[in-house]
Amino acid sequence: MLHRKWKTSTRPMNLLMGVAAVALSLAMAQPARAEIKIGFQAPLTGFAATDGKSAEIAAEMAIENINNAGGVIGEKLRLIAYDDQAKSDQAIFTANKLIGEDGVKLVVNGSYSASGRAAAPIFQNAGVTTIVAYGVHPDITLAGDHIFRLVHLGPPQGRATALFVAKDLKLKNVSTITMDNDYGQATMDGFLEASPKYGIKVINKYSYSLKDRQFGSIVASVKRDNPDGIYATGYFFTAGPLVAQLRAAGIKAPIIGSQAFDSQKFIEIAGPAAEGTYIVDSLDRDRNDAALQKFFAEFTKRAGYPPESVASVVYSAVKLMADGIKRAGSADPTKVKDALAETKNFPMLEGTLIGFNSLHEIIMPISVNVIEDGKFKFFAKLGDLDAFAPPEK
Amino acid sequence: MSAYEISVISVIGINVILAVSLNMISGFCGQISLGHGAFYGAGAYAAALAMIGAGSVPLALLAAAIVGSVLGIVVGFTSLRVRSDFLAVTTIGVNFLFTGFVRKQHWLGGEMGISGIPGSGLGANGNMLMILLFAAVTVALSLYVNHSWMGFAFRAVGEDEDAAATLGINSAAYKLAAFAIGTALAGLAGGLYAFFTQFITPDAFDFILSVMLMAMVVIGGIGSTWGVVTAAIGVTLLPEAIRFVSNYRLLVFGGLLLLVIRLAPGGIAALIRSVAGSAREP
Amino acid sequence: MSSAQLLRSEAVYYVDLAVTGITFGCMYAMMAVGLALVYGLLRILHIAHAAVFALGAYVTVLVANATGSVALGFVAAILVTPLFGMTIYRLLYEPLLKYRPDVPMIASVGLLVLMQDAFRIGFGEQGVTFHRDVYDLMTVDLLGVTVNAVQIAIVIAAAVIFLGLHLFTTRTRIGVAWRATVSRPKIAASFGVDPIQVRYLNFALGSALAAIAGGLVALLNNLVDPSIGYVVSYKALAIIVLGGLGSVRGTLIASLVLGLVEAYGTIFIGQWLDRDAIAFLALIALLMVRPQGFTGVRTA
């Protein structure tokens, strides 16, 4: 019955099917014009959501800016972003998802060290070229040559700080306050290791947990130490209260903070107490650089708050990846890896990236900011690259 | 099977072992334990050190189970001193003591944890199968205990200690046994986890994890092995399943947890029982 | 420095630590008393109390910023949180009372996870701070020990609250009826006390106190972020257990003890254990010696 109906209308039916087939293949041909997928991991939820949000917005901005300028090697970029909550197991899931389900070959990791450490070996084994934007743990680049890191490692940051404290601030007796997590400890380790070399005496070492906002015991102890200077590692949400409480206790010694102090929120929380705080490896906002100023304005408009180191380095990471693709002339991860390894004097928002060393760590000077009149002001540029050179292979 | 699926299934397997072992302590024997992460973590660290030191997979897993169990027995002794609600907080304390101690010890890697743990040599696929094997063993053990005299004694102790005493049940001995077995399995799970990630940090074994494990037990239906297995699978898969909601994952997760408990307070097991019961009605 | 100066500086140091400890203690006491009230009445570990505390902190800052007055911020918080607390009781706990206490506790956990993310989505990942012109830190110098005004406010607030609670439960009719319901529910009911009203009062009171604690912590830190409640969720539990069976007086004692232990402990054994571990070590040690808590009655 059905059969007969079909047979009687064969001719028009065939024609229709033929047209449909052509139309379908034309339609299918469209997406076959490839985009280059860039995988992206960031802590969008969970305790690190503050940095995750900055990272996400920065990455999206970078992709849009690149695509609006015509894309890379004639193709547009597409960001495939996953939330890893800055946790190792989530980083493993999302890394596998990017490689397997999404077929990604190039990744930017915009998350914390716990994520970078877990994901890096997976990306390396799959031959996926990865730029880790701000995870500072030494193990990350040890995973292999497909992994690049765009921020100074913890220990070199600490060593640079020791150099700065001794040579620029000329302080001798210092009390140290470490935030107890891999970032805080790694950075402080560098400082403690380099201190004796520059004649800095560490009077006492204190530490606190990520969750702490009340530092009464540490403040009392530092007051008793009466140091020439205080060096503390931490994120803005611990740094703000810490600095406020130190000053409220009448401690006048200069405070030197680590990279993650760098956030407008730090100034908001600590208020007048933030004046005079030095931040090492901070984003130099005073640079007369059109790209930086444009980024600043656009990010502030999108996010509702001004960008900090995290946003800047993630933006630069995506830009660098695009640049690597351009120089390689292809999106093949091995070719991109080789192009990235040869990077010379690449303009990042933070300044000029001189290049990568054999372990694919950055060679770049470190900027120091000071808080003046409630704003970040450039204070010094540490150019003694050997003093804080990252490890080689 | 993709690498993603393998990794998710591996974690599901580990969570099943953890939840079912917790169920033995808190479900069967009624000893509320909100610090299960500590035994899991102790096992993971023991396995990591054993593997780095001796390089033997069976030794590492055995060490993991033993260390977990020893810690568990010590905690079990404290359970004899304090009444049940206090036990909940004591176990929270054990969890924080574990993480708070480990993150300060350089020989345990401190905050950085231990990385570069030698692999088991089985590959990701092999690891997953090993995990699933142990998960199956755990479930079988749990079912067996439940139907045995030990299970009966556990439940008696859990529900009414005084009545249990009249039956000649030495509640202290059974509480310790529940802790010993449950924490040995948790320690074993820790060893399996160490091989899965090949890098461990104190944060992976924190209070939040312990609460999630207890949530699996409650959602599954306290005391029901299969209910808890289902809940473990469900709770582990949920964050992956709602990845499309990306920015609102925790919101949705919390909300679902809330709703499930509110609508099915007896857990999945009770839900199934009531459905099965009403199905029998004509 | 001369030896007299050295001695003085050491003395100041130990007093400094004591002040820190007492301030922590008073803060913890106000955070935990709401939990003690709920536990005393219903035997539920009301983990979501941390969300009530956080809500109080957020409301204080946001209303203070909007109106320019910190006092108004507090008033708003004290009005909002009891509604939230009573809603939690009505929608979450009341239907689950007949189950094992783990069940409402896990529901409570679900609510806390939901609320923390809601705070993140609603008020931002970075959290909220007081505007400069609304609030500025003031310090007072007492014989070389610098105390900030908020610390003094915390101690005074705690003293007022606990004294107030004591008078309330011993001198007023409602208070006595409440106390009776907690310890002898059936007898109280037979005297005509409505247990449901007592429950609502319980949650309202505990939540309002959490709001005050939240507002004060907001002033102290000048930062309210989504994680602000996290520490409350487990520390407050430890405190009420150490205090003994939801006793208000026990909560105060336990809080002060824990505050001092943390203040001194983090300096002296901070190399081996972190702050929470020290607190819990003290808790476990004290519980082993006195399993019923400070003011509890031995049942076994």
Q: How many separate domains does chain C show?
A: 1
Q: What is the tens place of the pLDDT at every residue in A347-356?
A: 999 889 999 9
Find the CB nearest C146 among A208, A249, A268. A249
Q: Do B250 and A45 touch (CB under 8 A)?
A: yes
Q: Is the pLDDT of residue A17 over 90?
A: no
pLDDT at C174 exceeding the cut of 70: yes
Q: Is pLDDT of A31 > 60?
A: no
Give me the percent of chain B exceeding a pLDDT of 90.
48
Residue A352 host element (H or E):
strand A351-353
- Give A117-158 pLDDT, tens digit per residue: 999 999 999 999 999 999 988 889 999 999 999 999 999 999
Task: Please report the DSSP string for C4-44 in residue order.
Answer: HHHHHHHHHHHHHHHHHHHHHHHHHHHHHHHHHHHHHHH--
pLDDT digits (tens, 9 = 90+) for B268-278: 888 888 888 77
Among the partner residues A237, A268, A270, nearest to C225 by beta-carbon distance = A237
Average pLDDT (B225-248) is: 87
Helix, strand and coil percent figures for chain B, each rounded to 5: 85, 0, 15
* Domain tally, chain A: 2
The torsion of the CA quartet A86, A90, A91, A97, rounded to 10 degrees, works out to -140
In a domain, A10, yes or no: no
Among all chains, which residue has been given the structure tokens 């970075």? C126
Closest to A228 measured CA to CA, from A200, A250, A207: A200
Q: Residues of B with CB below 8 A from A137's CB?
A: 112
Name the strand (E) or helix (H) holding A261: none
Please check whether residue A103 lies inside any domain of the structure. yes
Would you place residue A29 in the very low, low, confident or very high pLDDT band (cuts 50, 70, 90)?
A: very low
- pLDDT score, position A91: 93
| In the predicted structure, residue A8 carries a pLDDT above the cut 80 | no
pLDDT at A43 over 90: yes
Average per-residue pLDDT for chain A: 89
Chain A hits for C12, CB-CB cut-off 8 Å, are: 224
Interface of A with C (CB under 8 A): 45, 47, 49-50, 52-53, 180, 206-209, 211-214, 216-221, 223-224, 236-237, 240-241, 244-245, 248-250, 263, 265, 268-273, 304-305
> Cα separation of C119 and C200, whole Å?
25
Q: Which residues pair with A174 in a beta bridge?
A: A202, A229
CB C246 within 8 A of CB C39: yes
**Using CB atoms, which chains have 3+ pairs under 8 A with B?**
A, C
Tell whether A8 is covered by a domain: no
pLDDT above 90 (res B189)? yes
A56 with A145, same domain: the answer is: yes
A325 and A272 co-located in one domain? no
3 state DSSP class of B120: coil
A336 in Cβ contact with A321 (< 8 Å): yes
Our CA-based measurement puts residue B124 at a distance from the nearest CA of chain C, in whole angstroms, of 32
Please say whether the beta carbons of A365 and A157 come within 8 A: no
Per-residue pLDDT tens digits for C16-38: 899 899 999 999 999 999 898 89
What CA dihedral angle connects A323, A327, A330 and A332, to 10 degrees?
-80
Q: How far is C112 from chain B (nearest CA, A)?
A: 7
Q: Are A209 and A319 found together in one domain?
A: no
Q: What is the ipTM of this complex?
A: 0.88
Alpha helices in chain A (DSSP H): 2-8, 10-32, 49-68, 88-99, 113-125, 139-142, 154-163, 182-194, 216-225, 236-248, 264-270, 290-303, 309-328, 333-341
Does the pLDDT value for residue A21 go beyond 60? Answer: no
Same-domain check for residues A190 and A124:
no
Q: If you average pLDDT over each of A119-123, A388-392, B113-117, which comes out highest?
A: A119-123
pLDDT at C197 (0 to 100): 86
* A316-330, A362-376, B242-256: the lowest-pLDDT one: B242-256
Query: Under an 8 Å CB criterion, which residues of A touch B?
Result: 44-46, 81-83, 87-90, 92-93, 96-97, 99-101, 114, 117-118, 121-122, 126, 137, 139, 180-182, 184-186
Domain extent for A123:
36-152+287-360
What is the separation of C-alpha B21 from the centre of its chain, rounded to a whole number of angstroms? 5
Per the CB < 8 Å rule, is A221 touching C10? no
pLDDT classification of A299: cutoffs 50, 70, 90? very high
CA gap C17, C1 in Å, rounded: 22
pLDDT in tens, A49-81: 989 999 999 999 999 999 999 999 999 999 999
Decide if B68 contacts B183 (C-beta within 8 A): yes
> Does the pLDDT value for residue B281 go beyond 70?
no
Q: Which residue has the higher pLDDT, B183 or C184?
A: B183
C121, B251 contact by CB (below 8 A): yes
Same domain, A299 and A267: no
Provide the pLDDT for residue C133: 72
Q: Judge contact between B206 and B37, C-beta under 8 A.
A: yes
Q: In angstroms, what CA-CA distances link C283 with B90, B91, B209, C43, C286? A: 8, 11, 21, 20, 5
Rounded Cα gap, residues C242 and C288, in angstroms = 11
Measured CA angle at A247 (ends A245, A251), to 5 deg:
115
pLDDT at C163 over 60: yes
State the CATH number of the domain containing residue A267: 3.40.50.2300
- Answer whether residue C133 is part of any domain: yes
Chain C residue nearest residue B218, CA to CA: C103
Same domain, A190 and A92: no
pLDDT digits (tens, 9 = 90+) for B24-35: 999 888 888 999
Q: What is the pLDDT, as a whole number, of residue A164?
A: 95
The partner residues of A175 in beta bridges, in order of sequence, read A204, A230
Number of cross-chain residue pairs from B and C with Cβ atoms under 8 Å apart: 139
A301 and A330 part of one domain: yes
pLDDT at position A28 over 60: no
Give the sign of the dihedral formed by CA A177, CA A182, CA A188, CA A189. Answer: positive
Instruction: Choose, out of A111, A128, A180, the residue to mutate when testing the contact with B (most B CBs < 10 Å).
Output: A180
Specify the range with the lowest mean pLDDT, choosing from A17-26, A140-149, A168-177, A376-385.
A17-26
Indicate the pLDDT class of residue A14, thresholds 50, 70 and 90: low
Chains linked to A by 3 or more Cβ pairs within 8 Å: B, C
- What b/e sequence results for C267-285 when a residue is b if at least 16 CB atoms lie within 10 Å of its CB, and e otherwise? beebeebbbbbbbbbbbbe
For residue C296, being part of any structural domain is answered with no
Give the count of alpha carbons within 13 A of A222, CB side only. 31
Angle value at C-alpha B3, between B234 and B117, nearest 5 degrees: 95
Closest chain C residue by Cα to residue B96: C277
Mean pLDDT of B214-238: 91
Read off the pLDDT of each residue in A238-253 and give the average, rounded to a whole number. 92
Nearest alpha carbon to residue B11 among B173, B213, B156? B213
In a domain, C134, yes or no: yes
Which DSSP state fits B24?
I
Per cent of chain A over pLDDT 70 is 92
Domain ranges, ordered by start, for chain B: 3-204
Contact A89 B111 (CB under 8 A): no
Write down the pLDDT at residue C289. Answer: 86
Residue C140 has pLDDT above 80, yes or no: no
A240-260: average pLDDT: 93
Between the CA of residue A170 and those of A38, A199, B206, what are the distances in Å? 45, 10, 42
Mean local confidence (pLDDT), B221-246: 88
**For chain C, which chains pass the contact test of at least 3 CB pairs under 8 Å?**
A, B
In a domain, C191, yes or no: yes
- C-chain residues near B86 (CB < 8 A): 241, 287, 291, 293
Residues 6+ apart with CB under 8 A from A321: A38, A106, A108, A131, A336, A340
The minimum CA-CA distance between A187 and chain B, rounded to whole Å, is 12
**Pick from C240, C216, C238, C239: which is nearest to C228 by CA?**
C216
Mean pLDDT for the stretch of residues B78-102: 87
Tell me what the mean pLDDT of segment A212-223 comes to. 92
In 3D space, the residue among B261, B255, B259, B184 whose CA is nearest the CA of residue B215 turns out to be B261
